[in-house]
Structures are given as C-alpha cells and as structure tokens.
Amino acid sequence: MGRFGLSLTLGAAVLAALLLLSVLYGTTDVPVGEVFIAIASGLGFSAAEPEPMHRIIFDLRLPRALFAALIGAGLGLVGAVLQTTTRNDLADPFLFGLSSGAAAGAVLVITVTGDVLGIWTLPLAAFCGGLVASGIVLALVQALQTSAPEKLILAGLAVSFLFAAVTNYLIFSGDNRAAHSVIFWMLGGLGLARWETLPLVAAGLGLILAYAIWRSRWLDALLAGDITAASLGVPVKSLRFRMFLAAALSTAAFVSVAGVIGFVGLMVPHIARGLAGPLHRRLLPMAALAGAILLTGSDILSRLLLAPQELPVGIVTTSVGSAFVFLLLLGTRKHGR
C-alpha cells in the first residue's frame, strides 16, 4: 500500500472515531451500546418505544456529526478547486463574497422577518443571499470581459465588503435581543443540524465533488498556467466561470445551515497536497477526507472548551487557521519564496 492509500485508510479510521466520539459526547455522556440501539430505534429496526436519550442521540447528535463531516468535506473540496482556478494558495470559499451574502440573508431573517416559512426560513434566506452575492461577482467578471483570477478575487472582495456592510446595518437597526443569535450564526455553528436539511448539504457536497472529478484533468492542466492549459484544449475562461459557479452553489448550501466557518477551505488543500500530491484525481478525495476530519474534530473541541456552554465552531477553525497561515508564511520565507 502506497503513501496515498495508507493516508486514506488512516484518515478514514480517524474520521470514524471522531464521528463516534461526536455522538457519544454531550451534556450527558452515553455508552457506546446505547448509540447503536438509538440508531436502530430511529431507523425503525426496533419495535420498542424509543427512550428520550435515544431520541436525543438520533435526532440531534447523529445529524450534527454527519453535518460536520459533510460540510467539512465540501469546504475542503471548494478550497482546493478555488486555489487551482485562481492560482492563489490563500484562496478559500469565503474570499469571494459567498459567506457575506449568506450572512446578510440569515441576519435579515433573524432581525426582521422571523421564521415565516418555519424551519426552512433561515437556510433558504442564507442560500439565496449566497446566490445573490455569487451572481454579482460573476456579473462583474463578465462585464470586465476577462477571466483573470486576480479580477475574480477583487470582485469577490468588493462584494464581500458590500454585504458585510448590509449585515452590520441589519444588526444595528434590528431587534437587539437577536444579537446573540446573529453573532453565533456569523461565527459558525452546527446547531441547525437536522435530518430535514441534510439533503441540502449532501447536494452541495455532491455537486462540487462530481463536477471537480469530472473536470479533474482540466484542473491539472491549469496548474501549468492558462496559456499551457489553452494549448491543451482547455476552455480556460468557461472552466473558471463554471467551476466558480459550482463552488458558489455548494458554499451557499453549506453556509445556509452552518453559518460562516472560516479557514477550513484554506488549510485543507495544503494538507491534502502534502499527502496526495497536486494532481486532482488524488487531491480531491484527500481534501474531502481532511476537511471532514478537521471540522468534526473542531466541533468536538468547540463543545469541550466552555462546557456545558457551546463555543461557535468558527472560533476554533479560525484560531487553528491563523496559526496555520503563520506557519505557511514562515515556511515560504524559509524556502526563499
């Protein structure tokens, strides 16, 4: 078994252990056997009436663990794709205004409209906000008649600042009693993890994974530069546009249920390249696995640090991410780059 296969095997084992730990840990710890009984009861394999603890495990803890793995995997994939298409090692899903647009939509619901559509109100508002932000970025790029990655980054930053201003206005002009909910959502959290919204997250992950693997050879060609990729028959401009659109749709789905979880998409591609190399057939599955491990572990840590109070998971990922960027910059300086 080569290094790549060994890394995947060990990573899968670590992820399975973290998922189990995530389900076991809570305000009340439960034995391992109770977890499997609760899952059997929730799936209808047990005729006995489920106990309250079994409902907590199946309806709250298990979907939360799955959300952490799926969203972490998705953010890792989006980060890997964006870093390749923009040729920027510090690109991540939240550099292009996607999170700011989603945050504005969610804050609008929390401070102004309320849950007019029930449990789906907040996810739908955040998803629509992310789509509006990505649409503005793509419209700006189209108006400039260029596919240059630096133009894409600048357009994303401009849109990000615009929606950040809208979000701050809504916070200050809305109901002050909702400030805590707004702050927690903007810092990222998995408190909205429910079975009902799991298909939205799964669809976001499936979209970016399927499209990136389908175009993995074109992404490999982009590593050599636009001119070389074009000479190999890659439609660089349309590829960059479509890949960004897929990344935007996926990120909007993730942010709509988990809020703004930063730095996962920035760190994970670097870790994955060290284990799988730069070619995307191996890079993409490794990025998905590393992202799932990172966010699942961060979610567990967010529940441990201030127990029984829950810390927004975005604080944990941002803290780890800032240290990672420092190490990355020191490493590039050491190698004279």
According to the model, what pLDDT value does residue 331 have?
Answer: 72
Other CB atoms within 10 Å distance of the CB of residue 261: 31
**Looking at per-residue confidence, does 323 or 149 come out higher?**
323
Please check the confidence at residue 4 and state whether its pLDDT lies above 60.
Answer: yes
User: Is residue 320 within 8 Å of 313, Cβ to Cβ?
Assistant: no
CATH number of the CATH domain containing 241: 1.10.3470.10
User: Which structural domain range is residue 211 located in?
Assistant: 3-334
Alpha-helical (H) ranges within the chain are 3-24, 32-42, 52-56, 62-86, 98-108, 121-144, 149-173, 179-186, 198-214, 216-222, 226-231, 236-258, 264-276, 280-304, 313-334
> Residues 211-255: pLDDT tens digits?
999 999 999 999 988 889 999 899 988 898 889 888 888 888 888
Q: What is the pLDDT of residue 46?
A: 62
281 has a pLDDT exceeding 90 = yes
pLDDT of residue 279: 93
CB 251 within 8 A of CB 77: no
Q: Which residue has the higher pLDDT, 307 or 15?
A: 15
Kindly state the average pLDDT of the residues 8-12. Answer: 93
| Residues 185-213 pLDDT 10s | 778 888 778 888 899 899 999 999 999 99
pLDDT exceeds cutoff 90 at 291: yes
Q: Give the count of domains, the chain.
A: 1
Mean pLDDT score of the chain, rounded to an integer?
A: 83
Nearest to 269 by CA among 70, 7, 80, 86: 80
The pTM score is: 0.89
Closest CA to 158 of 111, 205, 100: 100
Closest CA to 76 of 56, 99, 93, 94: 93
